[in-house]
Amino acid sequence: MNAALRDRLVGYAFVGPFLLVYAAVMVVPLIMGLVISLHRADLFGRREWVGLANYSEALGDPVLHQALGNTAMLALLIVPPLTGLALLLALALNRPGRFAAVLRGVFFSSLVLSVTIVTLIWRFILTPDAGLIAEGLAATGRAPIPFLSDPDLVIPAIAVTTLWWSLGFPVMLILAGLQQVPGDIYEAAALDVANRWTVLRRITLPAIRRTLLLVVMLQTAAQLQLFGQAQLLTGGGPGGASRTIVLYIFEVSFGRWELGYATAIAELLFGMILALTLVQYWLVTRHEEPRA
């Protein structure tokens, strides 16, 4: 056995266990899902081959179109502000000292709450009956705002809830990225009397470019799968105005028992997330030199 072959086998031995588990919990279910999506199937094991009928039905389903629009709007309202806010906070908190450490903990703390608690908190804030905002408005003689029942306000309300909940993780990722930037570059910039804006634009942002890409990719994938907030805050209402794709998949599979159709929508969502992630990656890295 030559050295190259031995090295390759050792490599496979290292990644083998992971690949086996990954295949068992990700690849096999994905393939099973594809097979089920080609059937009219109920939740309890009945199957009837229908080919691509579920997919063609999905393309003409107005409820799915509405859910797709809602989900896209949520992703747009969440991902860019989340990335921007996380960047600002990380820049502000990227310093030594106890106060900054405490604040890092504070911003991370919302992330450890479950979605049930988060939606409960925001229900207390948003509900027009004795909610925090409603009480504040009442104190100034104004009418309460129905954040959770006005079709035009539910999506922003869910977006704000999600922003509050999700801020901690991107802040930590960007902080980790910032702490990888070598200090001597900043020293050189200081010697050149570069102002703070120039340092940010010419040094910091290019240095954490890949971290920002990671944040955007992870958050895009996560927000396209938004479920708990919509289910618990509004149940997808009013009139489907806040129904997301995953909430629709849940309703179709566990409420209507149409597993085949639900799986077809899930496969479409998977394809959409994969395509978007690849496009984002390509957009950010297309001008970079290939890594050695």
| Torsion angle in degrees (nearest 10) through CA of 227, 232, 235, 238 | -110
**Residue selected from 94, 146, 171, 212 as contacting another protein according to rule CB under 8 A:** 146
Sites for another protein among residues 197-256 (CB under 8 A) = 234-241, 250-251, 254-256
Q: Which of 1, 48, 139, 286 binds another protein (CB under 8 A)?
A: 48
Structure tokens at 111: 């992330």
Give the range of 21-29, 122-130, 189-197, 265-273 binding another protein by CB under 8 A.
122-130
Q: Is 143 in the site for another protein (CB under 8 A)?
A: no
Q: Of 83, 127, 162, 166, which lies in the binding site for another protein, with binding defined by CB under 8 A? A: 127
81 binds another protein (CB under 8 A): no
At 268, the amino acid letter reads L
Q: How far is the CB of 30 from another protein (least distance, A)?
A: 19
Give first-to-last CA distance, the chain, whole Å. Answer: 27
| Closer Cβ to another protein, 123 or 210, answer by number | 123
Is 128 an interacting residue with respect to another protein (CB under 8 A)?
A: yes
Q: Which of 33, 34, 40, 186 binds another protein (CB under 8 A)?
A: 40
Q: Interface with another protein by CB under 8 A: which range of 75-83, 149-157, 215-223, 267-275?
A: 149-157
One-letter amino acid for residue 175 of the chain: L
Q: How far apart are CA 200 and CA 194, in angstroms?
A: 10
- Residue 46 or 201 having the CB closest to another protein: 46
Q: Residues touching another protein: how many (CB under 8 A)?
A: 34
* Rounded-to-integer distance, Cα 233 and Cα 281, Å: 33
Which of 6, 8, 46, 201 is close enough to bind another protein by CB under 8 A? 46
Residue ranges in contact with another protein by CB under 8 A: 40-44, 46, 48, 62-63, 127-129, 144, 146, 148-151, 234-241, 250-251, 254-258, 261
